Amino acid sequence: MKLPLAFFSTVCVLSGCTTANPVIQQQIDDLTACQKVEGLLQSYPSQFNALKMAKVSNKFMDVWQAKYHLVGDACQISQVSTGSNYQCQKVYTQATEAVSSYQQAVSIIASCLDMKQWHKTESLINGVHRATFSAPLQPEITVLSASTLAKVSQSWQTSVTVGTAQPSK
């Protein structure tokens, strides 16, 4: 039986965790993609507090490692003066891998949301694939696939962002 996100939040707050204990981490790892999406939407109003782990601050913003990942394995929660967002990304050596990852992420997210309440917009402009999911009183979910700015070798990335806050340039 899967335990709700509220349980993980309570345990983490009580233990003051920056990393989950192995039992809790296994339960987090066992969450389905839809449970993760639901957890992100539920924790958005609290600036994703239930999903924050180790904090890494710099002079521009506060950043935390996230407890779970929708794409790749290095998701982060960023907080700036305009709000918070959850972002994951994974880099690929082939464009086809990035596009496949993008399509899979869009499909999974769409299957997790009530598409009678959510609106999906997709575009392909200059090789950039973008899908945006929006609903009243909910954070925006964006899935993006594009080439990176790497100068040494060509690479592509797929990213998922939940929330609307963007770091200052």
Per residue in 75-99, pLDDT (tens digit) is 999 987 778 899 999 999 999 999 9
106 in Cβ contact with 115 (< 8 Å): no
| pLDDT of the residue at 150 | 76
Please enumerate, as own/partner, the contacts of 56-60 that have beta carbons within 8 Å and a separation of 24 or more: 60/167, 60/168
- In the predicted model, residues of the chain with pLDDT beneath 50 are 1-18, 165-169
CA distance 9 to 25: 12
Query: Average pLDDT, whole number, for the chain?
Result: 82
107 in Cβ contact with 164 (< 8 Å): no
User: The pTM is what?
Assistant: 0.80
Q: Mutual orientation of helices 5-15 and 22-29 as an angle, nearest 10°?
A: 150
Q: How many other C-beta atoms lie within 10 A of the C-beta of residue 121? A: 10
| pLDDT of the residue at 10 | 35
Number of H helices, E strands in the chain: 4, 8
| pLDDT of the residue at 96 | 94
| pLDDT of the residue at 21 | 63
Q: What is the DSSP track for 57-97? A: E-SS-EEEEESS-SSSS--EEEEETTEEEEEEEEEESSHHH
The SS3 call for residue 158 is strand
CA distance 5 to 46: 13
| pLDDT of the residue at 17 | 42
